[in-house]
Amino acid sequence: MLFVIGGGLLVARRRRVMVPHLLAAAWGVFIAASGGICPLTPLENWLRRRAGEGGYSEGFLEHYITPLLYPEGLTRELQWTLAALVVVVNGCVYGVFVRGAQARRRAR
Per-residue pLDDT of the chain (108 residues; tens, 9 = 90+): 788 878 888 887 888 999 999 999 898 888 878 877 777 778 888 888 898 888 777 766 667 766 766 667 778 888 888 889 888 988 898 898 888 888 888 888
Q: How far is CA 35 from CA 10, 79, 96, in A?
A: 27, 8, 30
Query: In the chain, how many domains are there?
Result: 1
Domain range enclosing 63? 2-107
Distance of CA 49 to the CA centre of its chain: 28
22/42 Cα distance (integer angstroms):
25
- Whether the model pTM is above 0.85: no
